[in-house]
Amino acid sequence: MSATVSPLAPKKYPKMPAVEGVRIATAEAGIKYKGRTDLLAMVFDEGTTAAGVFTRSKCPSAPVDFCRQNLSGGKARVLVVNSGNANAFTGKKGRETTRMTGEAAAKAAGASAGEVFLASTGVIGEPLDAGRFSHLLADMAKEAKPDRWTEAAKAIMTTDTYPKLATATVKIGGADVVINGIAKGAGMIAPDMATMLSFVATDAPIDAPVLQALLSKGVGSTFNAVTVDSDTSTSDTLMLFATGVAEKRGAPRIMEVGDARLGQFRRALNRVLKQLALQVVRDGEGARKQVEVTVTGAKSARSAKRIALSIANSPLVKTAVAGEDANWGRVVMAVGKAGEPADRDRLAIWFGDSRLAFEGERDPAYSEAATSAYMKRDDIAIRVDIGLGRGKATVWTCDLTKEYVAINGDYRS
């Protein structure tokens, strides 16, 4: 955890209500960090359903493989997360660690082996010794409490400068249900998620296939629309757990994706996912500014998103934003290299409300003074109209500063 908190950190954290059926414990296992918690256990009531979305990296970590395997059962009783070591690219040793941790967690929670989920974040390529922390799980499961969401968010941090939390309360069929989420991530962040872990839990009674459909759709415009540095991690894990305890309070069990009673819940879930995703961007390593990139007028939505990501991932665009330079030529470059249909002579570019370029050249009304003043803000909006169709997309990123190089230059030391 960095000594200085990001200037883009939230001014205050949400008060996190308990989610019935979820209990939380954290511990100091000393895996890499000294004097802070680095181990999280989340214990779920029997009958909890689970959904997950994971990295598309072809070199996934051992915990990602473990979760994918168990997800087919659709049930969860315990989640164990460690920070400081990603248990990725650790070969047979890594698989042995997940097996041992999985067995210890199942025993601690009185669960079957298929109801355990694991996630690890931190350095890649270093063996993770399960013996450092698996013995702590039994006591953690015993003393877990419902009101420890903020502690949970702190325990999973690596280079994050602040914990990431979001909550929503909505109705399903007249009964209140709670959705709570935590996330971590600051670098190695790109769509297909990122070095990003996020765990969301609700007391809504929702069957696993419906939960999975909601989550898979929800990531498109949230976690898969943020990028810090275009690097996709080996460990990305986003999981959603539903304890179903709200059924006792009259919430109906949802068994179909098309159930009309899901409307409010779906919107609230997407809101929680977006809040968490944007907090990850605002804690981008060394970040001083959040950048929203919107592309309109593309051939298709998919094409718009590819162009938007080309802009958001461009080191030249991101360093220009860091230097508060409205260098729209770099945006033109990023559109041109995206490999998507574009027409130079139809292109229009805005920074905030100022149109800088129009129909392939500098806008005659462009004011350098007004745009330079705009670039001093914490939140920068770049909009590009391609002028070819109706496809649109928005993605979020941050600027690229000297601090990013400093943080990643000595990450292992």
Can you give the pLDDT at residue 2?
A: 47
Can you give the pLDDT at residue 160?
A: 92
Give the pLDDT mean for 232-255: 92
Nearest to 161 by CA among 312, 39, 281, 32: 281
Residues 6+ apart with CB under 8 A from 389: 297, 298, 299, 300, 303
3-state secondary structure of 394: strand
Sheet holding 197-202, edge to edge: 49-54, 237-242, 197-202, 175-184, 164-172
- Which residue in 55, 158, 161, 195 is the catalytic one? 195
Strands (DSSP E) contained in 189-283 are: 197-202, 237-242
375: pLDDT confidence band, cut at 50, 70 and 90? very high
Give the pLDDT mean for 365-380: 94
Can you give the pLDDT at residue 230?
A: 63
Can you give the pLDDT at residue 315?
A: 93
3-state secondary structure of 332: helix
pLDDT at 35 over 80: yes
Dig out the tokens for 49 from the structure: 């359903």
Dig out the tokens for 323 from the structure: 């230097």
The rounded distance, in Å, linking the Cα atoms of 202 and 185 is 22
Integer-rounded Cα radius of gyration of the chain: 22
- At residue 169, φ and ψ (nearest 5 deg) are -125, 125
The rounded distance, in Å, linking the Cα atoms of 185 and 281 is 8
Can you give the pLDDT at residue 226?
A: 87
Q: Pick the range with the lowest mean pLDDT from 114-123, 193-202, 206-215.
A: 193-202
H helix count then E strand count, the chain: 11, 15
Q: Please count the CA atoms within 13 angstroms of the CA of 55 that sit on its side-chain side.
A: 28
Catalytic, 195? Answer yes
Give the pLDDT mean for 305-311: 95
Ramachandran quadrant class, 117 (left: phi over 0; alpha: psi -120 to 50; beta: rest): beta
Q: pTM of the full predicted structure?
A: 0.91
Tens of pLDDT, residues 88-126: 889 999 999 999 999 999 999 999 999 999 999 988 889
Tens of pLDDT, residues 136-173: 999 999 999 999 999 999 999 988 999 999 999 999 99
